[in-house]
Structure 1
Amino acid sequence: MADALPFILILSITLLIYYFSRRSALPKPPGPRGWPILGNIFENPVSHKQRKYKEWGDKYGPIVRYSLFTDEIIVLNTRETATELLEKRSASSQDRPRQIMCGELMNWNKAMGLSRAGYQHRTYRKLVGGVLSPTAVRNLFPVEERAARLFVHDLLRQCSAGFDGEKRRPDQALAVAQTKRWQECCRNHFGADFAPEGRTGQGLTLEEV
């Protein structure tokens, strides 16, 4: 018994710290009751999550909370609830988790998709909104039509007899699509137009740039 006393003491302190650290002055949304530390790991749906969320929504309401270890997950089961919280009250829910690996170590935290809420992210969204708004994208219709015509032309030319006279392969269409994608990116961003004879993919664009 004396040998087990340190283990029991450490376990008790750990459980107390876990309990008090998770206490909040604000009430939490209803949800299935979980196990200490483990949370709802045994109830977490592996597939067809929407069915389990619908079941919980019918039981607990439009907002459901469940936990997986130290993470708490909030499920919004109705469109009205999602609109209310994510649009009308976006000031309190627009941020995203801190991304250590891809955000800080790989230095992608300045990209719009990974940047935290703040002045930088608002500036990004304002710039993108000015170019990709429903009205602004109409200016890109001629660019898209030209790219579609060139894609179909190259697809017919290169896939009719195969590359270098080889038999046609299913991956040739994908290679043509990748080449045209990088061509259009290079043309729209840098104003460079080139003929990709014998080369495909991202390496082509990087070489030309």
Structure 2
Amino acid sequence: MWSTVLFYIGVILIALRLFKKLRIPPRSKLPPGPTGLPVIGNLFQLPTSRPWLVFDEWMKQYGPIVYLNIAGQNTIVLGTHKTAADLLDRRANIYSDRPDFVVLNLLTGGMHWAWTQADELWRKKRRGAHEAMNAQTAKEYFPYQETESVIMLDQLLADPENFTDHFQRASTSLTLTIVYGWPPLIDSAHPNVLHINRMNQQLLIAAAPGSFWVEFKHFKWMRYLPKWMCAWRRDAENAFNHDSVMFEELSADVQKRMDAGDDVTCVAAKILQETENLFEASWNSVSIYSAGAETTSGQLAWFMQAMILYPEAQLLAQDELDRVVGPDRLPTFDDYEHLPFIRATVKEILRWRGVSPLGLPHRLSEDDYYEGYFLPKDTTCFVNIWSLHHDTEVYGADAEHFNPKRFLDANGNLQSSIVDTKDEGHYSYGFGKRICVGRYIANNSLFIHIAFLLWAFNITAKVDADGNPILPDSLQFNEGLIVRPAPFSCDIIPRKMDVSEIIAQAKADRGL
């Protein structure tokens, strides 16, 4: 009898031991990565400048998945098309959450849907955003985008030195028009614009790794400290209360216009039709605004740098514009299908220097196994998009260079998407269920802005006293989750004598 009891006890103990090994594998089953220190792990090994370049070197040393322990927080960085697609796309059901950002959630009250968990409220908000910005609906905004391009050209004619300011105005004004139905802004220093842009900068800072110690797992206890000890908590809660008042006023103004019977074509109007909760609708609307206001202007800055460094691409684009559009009118969206090189240029600028080389972090919502590695629940997952975009096996030996022709076939037609990128040819818009819902509007804005710029201007490097071109360094960035090129100068010279007259007529036609 006792032998039987001991036998079953032994079986149970062995089973428990095997289960434990399967459930919580040893450290050796985690993906490889740099060796860290006790308690803080790899915290002080995180690069503070251009981390995507450091991660790219780690990929060469450790492989396509690099594991980091950041003060107790399991973190992986994916560095190949295959790993990113396998996990974030094909296993999107468990890779679509966001990390628990303490400060960011205080700043937004947990209402900014781009940063919230993938729960039912998030799905509802995303459905509403998709309805307002899908490929078909995005065509409703063509007239607004063309108008902003006209204003942008006019401002560049008068003040070419401050081209990045004009890009920012165009991006901000268009986003306010699309989201809230505002008329075009000639000056982006409107108080509401400055307010929302300030909030956006706060969110980007709060989401950047290492901004606040309370975000690290071993320091989460700091969230329970008294408020008088935590300036970060007081500041974040005060900002949320202040911001919420203004955002509700913006959406309430849209509702007032709708109630008055006005024809209001904007995202906020579509969202308000889906929900009676003004607070929820206002934060859903501002979430869309904050996602779109920064990115397009940053991509245009990179485009200008590409034109300086790769003048042959500029000449090819201008040849296409001269052939299709001619010298007597501005481009329009009616020219879209006939301008494959311009469309390829949009894809290439988003690949060559996308404004988010690390993307936004995902969180694994349950334990997972992949390629023999154990990936624990709550692991934070980054994709080193920079590595994906500069993969010579996918984009060719010249992946480091700007070359729109990589997206064209032998006949000069836009070819089907490269690898598994949702027909984009790049990963700048993210992955899986978190892919950017505003990508159609963003692509359209870049298309028409670039077409206008190259139709109207030659973009060249400035020269020094000896006549040598002053070329920018395309590996110098302004740091942050959204990266822009380090400040640079260029010459922006009208291509035709009558550019100003054509632009003036376009303004008059639009009542500007």
Do the structures match in fold with TM over 0.5?
Answer: yes
Q: Is the 8 A contact 1:29 1:64 kept in 2?
A: yes
**Deviation of the 1:73 alpha carbon:** 2.0
1:109 counterpart SS class = coil
Out of 162, 169, 174, the position equivalent to 2:165 is 174
Alignment of 1:43-82 (within 5 A): 43-82=45-84
**Deviation of the 1:200 alpha carbon:** 5.5
Alignment of 1:1-209 (within 5 A): 25-26=24-25, 27-41=29-43, 43-103=45-105, 105-153=106-154, 155=155, 160=158, 174=165, 178=169, 184-185=174-175, 187-191=177-181, 193=183, 201-203=189-191
Q: How far apart, in 2, do the equivalents of 1:48 and 1:140 lie?
A: 35
Q: How far apart, in 1, do the equivalents of 2:145 and 2:59 lie?
A: 43
Residue 29 to residue 145, structure 1, CA distance change in 2 (3 Å): same
1:75 counterpart SS class = strand
**Deviation of the 1:81 alpha carbon:** 0.3
**Deviation of the 1:188 alpha carbon:** 4.2
1:91 counterpart SS class = coil
How many percent of aligned residue pairs carry the same amino acid?
23
Residue 142 to residue 98, structure 1, CA distance change in 2 (3 Å): same
Q: How far apart, in 1, do the equivalents of 2:178 and 2:120 lie?
A: 27
**Deviation of the 1:85 alpha carbon:** 0.6
Q: Is the 8 A contact 1:175 1:201 kept in 2?
A: no
Q: Is the 8 A contact 1:39 1:67 kept in 2?
A: yes
Deviations 1:25-53 (A, max 9, x none): 14422223322213134544444534543
Aligned length: 172
Q: Is the 8 A contact 2:88 2:96 kept in 1?
A: yes
Structure with greater Cα Rg: 1
**Deviation of the 1:192 alpha carbon:** 5.2
2:88 counterpart SS class = helix
Give the structure-2-normalised TM-score.
0.29
Q: Which amino acid aligns with 1:174?
A: D
Q: How far apart, in 1, do the equivalents of 2:173 and 2:46 lie?
A: 44
Partner of residue 468, structure 2: none
Q: Is the 8 A contact 2:144 2:177 kept in 1?
A: no
Partner of residue 20, structure 2: none
Deviations 1:116-160 (A, max 9, x none): 11112122222222333334323322221123224444x27xx85
Q: How far apart, in 1, do the equivalents of 2:135 and 2:70 lie?
A: 40
1:116 counterpart SS class = coil
Q: How far apart, in 2, do the equivalents of 1:53 and 1:194 lie?
A: 41
**Deviation of the 1:170 alpha carbon:** 5.5
Q: Is the 8 A contact 2:148 2:173 kept in 1?
A: no
**Deviation of the 1:76 alpha carbon:** 0.8
**Deviation of the 1:65 alpha carbon:** 0.5
Gaps of 5+ in 2: 1-22, 194-245, 254-512
More displaced, 93-102 or 144-153? 144-153
Residue 56 to residue 141, structure 1, CA distance change in 2 (3 Å): same
Partner of residue 11, structure 1: none
Q: How far apart, in 1, do the equivalents of 2:54 and 2:167 lie?
A: 42
1:92 counterpart SS class = coil
Q: Which amino acid aligns with 2:116?
A: S
Higher RCO structure (Cα 8 Å, ≥6 apart)? 2
Q: Is the 8 A contact 2:59 2:65 kept in 1?
A: yes
Q: How far apart, in 2, do the equivalents of 1:190 and 1:42 lie?
A: 43
Q: How far apart, in 2, do the equivalents of 1:174 and 1:38 lie?
A: 41
Q: Is the 8 A contact 1:64 1:76 kept in 2?
A: yes
Residue 170 to residue 88, structure 1, CA distance change in 2 (3 Å): same
CA RMSD of aligned residues (A): 3.8
**Deviation of the 1:71 alpha carbon:** 2.3
**Deviation of the 1:82 alpha carbon:** 0.6
2:103 counterpart SS class = helix
Q: Is the 8 A contact 2:141 2:178 kept in 1?
A: no
Q: How far apart, in 1, do the equivalents of 2:184 and 2:136 lie?
A: 30
